[in-house]
Chains A and B, each alone.
Chain A
């Protein structure tokens, strides 16, 4: 069976397993909804009091907020296998089972425990983008829609790359480092706002280190049709999502090293 079809099968199996406990699944979904909801409350409250942040209106920020949350939601749903690699696979010895199957490890991990509740964040992000369009008068043409999809794909790749790196670290420490949460959840928190509002060193880190700016800020600028207050040329937003894919590829390079290390030291 073709890999993509298999992935769908694994995902379906995971969802069926969760559906056996509908109460718990509903509870998780509600929890996710509320957790992302309070972030919205924070953003709204700050705008309610201050009116704008360095020239950016709530509707501008809403676009960044919506897109970043959509990216993370999808990566989060796909990347849980890497997130729990240490606790669910390495410590229990179940990782050996994955190695014994004639399929790529990454594929098997991505199909593991696909949580529908995480996709609640996707829906929220979509709604927020819709609101931003309606209230903020964003015009969507074929070009900007294509760019948005490209940016979101790049963002999914980026967040997935972070999760892959987190999984890779577990080969060495066995405990999952929660510092990775700083990059994922913290990254979402930071990238929700246009990066121009932050200090230079932070912007640099988020452009060249973990390239959140490349998948959210610059494409967002191009969609809004605004010039970058920091002076980057207009074409940057159209190609910068590639950085997300590059990041993911680098993450998989590290992952392969991790698997090699695992096979050398045993469990």
Chain B
């Protein structure tokens, strides 16, 4: 088999899930208004703390950057791994999960690709909408100070895109862990309840990680959730440039690798367990 042949089922799976999700137009719009307001309130609070000054003493980022960070966080919200892929839950409920063992493809890889397609299809429209609001509409309304600023240069933009792609892969790997938990019939509600606050804080969605206390910064950057949002945004602003940028990307990639391996092992074990039970 050529490489193309080998990758065909995965490419097809990604595309089909991606396109299927894109059709849910109402899902794309739902919550958009809420997010605009939510972002707006966060921006206003930040502006209040900065005291209206573009840079406050001791602040690791300017107000403009913090504002842009907030809008990026809203746009990329779907990257946060809160819930497992509903298709997996459905497959478990209906029992069709057993068919995946019968197909001549790697089960983890197939699900990974489908999950990533699901996430991507939810992220892209939201980012576009958010950009339309915060990067285009707000400046037009004269609210430039609260708008989504452009990246810090071409290199920063490229770095950001690469990092965002890695963030997508990272998110996929994390959601796969949630999927495996689903298959193993672990308490889904309980996991989601605990996961959400942790994810919101440590990805940088609540506040930019840099604004959290200084003494925690190293740990905050090294933990896996930082790669979902914080690292891409730092590249966007050029806060990680040159060697540091490569380091950030490597950190993301490293966590992707670790979580994928973990996910594969967990899935193998769970599916084997299922077979023993009779599926």
The chain A residues found within 8 Å of chain B, CB to CB, are: 23-24, 27-28, 30-31, 34-35, 37-38, 41-42, 45-46, 48-50, 53-54, 178-179, 181-182, 186, 189-190, 193, 197-199, 202
Contact = CB atoms under 8 A, between A and B. Distances in A.
A54 B207 contact: no
A113 to B, nearest CB: 17
B31 interface: yes
A45 B51 contact: no
Contact of B196 (A23, A35, A186, A198): A35
Contacts of A182: 33-34, 37-38
Interface in B36-78: 37-38, 41-42, 44-45, 48-51, 56, 58-59
Interface of B: 30-31, 33-34, 37-38, 41-42, 44-45, 48-51, 56, 58-59, 187, 189-190, 193-194, 196-197, 200-201, 206-207, 211-213
B30 A35 contact: no
Contact of A53 (B38, B48, B59, B211): B48
Contacts of B194: 30-31, 34
B197 A50 contact: no
Given A31-B193, A182-B34, A48 B41 contact: no
Contacts of A179: 33-34
A67 B31 CA distance: 28
Nearest to A55: B51
Given A45-B212, A53-B49, A197-B48, A178 B197 contact: no
A28 B192 CA distance: 11
A83 B49 CA distance: 33
B207 A45 contact: yes
10 contacts: A23-B187, A30-B193, A30-B194, A38-B201, A38-B206, A45-B207, A45-B211, A46-B211, A49-B213, A178-B34
